[in-house]
């Protein structure tokens, strides 16, 4: 796998609380780690390193069910060349369009896909492959509303519900997220085996480039990397150079 593949398929994440860059551990809002740099400054660093995409998450919106922070999305979309997917608080029929109009390449929808599948189906019909369905799982069960509510659905249930309309699935194992302990490789292998035509984006637990390479070699279309980049476990220079030696966590 060459450097261009990694730069195109490794997707850095910026999570927002109160408009500031933050990382949670295992989805726990009581344990936020805030970072001093602004979201735009971080995005600019990722762009300068040659990365192509960005996963921007408004955690306040995800928890409270209200779309906000589109100003930050618009600022990043207009000041960088990054292709941004935006999630958090997309609940109403006009919300996906508002996100796309603010400059996002994709709107990522989680809670509505589980809790109101008919509405999500209409959005998929309307917006096609510019809509990503997000599935945040804990102990095999999808959680909604900013990881606060167990839905009783598995990620496999969700994909089957939207079969024939779904183009992209972003799947996060909450138990791995923010831990730097490694991804749930088995989960993504099962998704690729059962839904070979689905573009799966893996999220949660990536510690180093070896994790990312292994996921990509397993057939996922993209890999979300958050804490490992923010805390220097993966150096931007290493990513661009595509050093073949795995770095220790």
Per-residue pLDDT of the chain (249 residues; tens, 9 = 90+): 656 689 999 999 999 999 999 988 888 888 888 998 999 999 999 999 999 999 999 999 999 999 999 999 999 999 999 999 999 999 999 999 999 999 999 999 999 999 999 999 999 999 999 999 999 999 999 999 988 899 999 999 999 999 999 999 999 999 999 889 999 999 999 999 999 999 999 999 999 999 999 999 999 999 999 999 999 999 998 887 764 444 555
Q: What is the pLDDT of residue 67?
A: 97
Q: What is the pLDDT of residue 225?
A: 97
Domains and CATH numbers, the chain: 3-239 (3.20.20.70)
Given 15, 60, 95, 208, the catalytic residue: 15
Q: What is the pLDDT of residue 178?
A: 87
Q: What is the pLDDT of residue 148?
A: 87
Given 85, 95, 136, 211, the catalytic residue: 136
**177 counts as catalytic:** no
* Other beta carbons less than 10 A from residue 204's beta carbon: 25
Q: Write out the DSSP string of the chain.
A: --HHHHHHHEEEEEEEETTEEEEEETTEEEEEEE-SS-HHHHHHHHHHTT--EEEEEEHHHHHHT----HHHHHHHHHHS--EEEEES---STTHHHHHHHTT-SEEEE-HHHHH-HHHHHHHHHHHGGGEEEEEEEETTEEEETTTTEE-S--HHHHHHHTTTT--EEEEEETTTTTT-S---HHHHHHHHHH-TTSEEEEES---SHHHHHHHHHTT-SEEEE-HHHHTTSS-HHHHHHT-SSPPP-
Q: What is the pLDDT of residue 206?
A: 97
**129 counts as catalytic:** no
Q: What is the pLDDT of residue 4?
A: 66
């Amino acid at each position: 796998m060459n450097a261009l593949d990694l730069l195109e398929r490794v997707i850095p994440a910026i999570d927002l609380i109160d408009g500031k860059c933050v990382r949670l551990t295992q989805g726990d809002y009581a344990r936020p780690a805030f970072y001093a740099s602004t979201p735009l400054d971080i995005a600019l660093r990722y762009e300068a390193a040659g990365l192509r995409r960005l996963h921007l998450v408004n955690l306040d919106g995800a928890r409270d069910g209200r779309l906000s922070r589109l100003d930050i999305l618009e600022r990043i979309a207009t000041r960088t060349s990054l292709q941004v997917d935006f999630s958090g608080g997309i609940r109403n029929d006009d919300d996906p369009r508002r996100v796309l109009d603010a400059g996002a390449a994709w709107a990522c929808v989680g809670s509505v896909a589980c809790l109101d599948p008919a509405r999500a189906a209409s959005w998929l019909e309307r917006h096609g492959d510019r809509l990503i369905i997000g599935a945040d799982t804990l102990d095999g069960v999808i959680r909604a509303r900013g990881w606060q509510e167990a839905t009783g659905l598995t990620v496999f249930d969700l994909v089957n519900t939207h079969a024939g309309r779904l183009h992209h699935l972003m799947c996060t194992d909450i138990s791995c997220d923010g831990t730097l302990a490694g991804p749930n490789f088995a989960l993504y292998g099962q998704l690729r085996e059962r839904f070979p035509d689905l573009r799966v984006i893996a999220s949660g637990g990536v510690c180093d480039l070896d994790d990312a390479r292994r996921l990509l070699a397993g057939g996922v279309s993209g890999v979300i990397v958050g804490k490992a980049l923010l805390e220097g476990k993966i150096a931007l220079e290493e990513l661009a150079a595509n050093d073949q030696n795995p770095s220790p966590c």
